Amino acid sequence: MGEIRTRVALFRGETEAAQLDLIFQVTGYPVGDTLRQYESIKQWPAFAAVNTTAQNTFLARFGAGKNKVFDRAGLDLLQRLLDIDPERRVTAGEALQHEYFQEGFVDPAR
């Protein structure tokens, strides 16, 4: 969804560690209960290269100023689709029922 609107691949990492870095740049580094789900990843040798201080840049990337590519409903849906926690991440069926698809397309540039 984000790639369709921006016409740019969201996560173009050339290595697994680079891929995680790109994901964490958008979602922020997992914390709390979500981080506990990823405890085993810390044992992975390449994890040392991952930026564990990454801040969530989601709104700056998709919802502010010249980067605003979604309206409020679109931002909400994209954020739910990209949730790093699989327990909270929206399913395809839930996504199709989201208000973004119910209200019709709204061009945020207007």
Full-prediction pTM beyond 0.85?
A: no
105: nearest Cα among 63, 71, 58: 71
Domain residue limits, the chain: 2-102
Q: Digits of tens for pLDDT over the chain (110 positions)?
A: 888 888 888 889 898 888 888 888 888 887 777 777 777 777 777 777 777 777 778 887 787 777 688 888 889 999 999 998 888 899 999 999 999 988 765 555 55
Instruction: Name the CATH code of domain 2-102 (choices 3.40.50.1000, 3.90.1150.10, 1.10.287.110, 1.10.510.10).
Output: 1.10.510.10
The confidence score (pLDDT) of residue 105 equals 58
The confidence score (pLDDT) of residue 59 equals 82
Gap between the Cα atoms of 85 and 89, Å rounded: 6
Supply φ then ψ for residue 6, to 5 degrees: -90, -15
The confidence score (pLDDT) of residue 70 equals 84
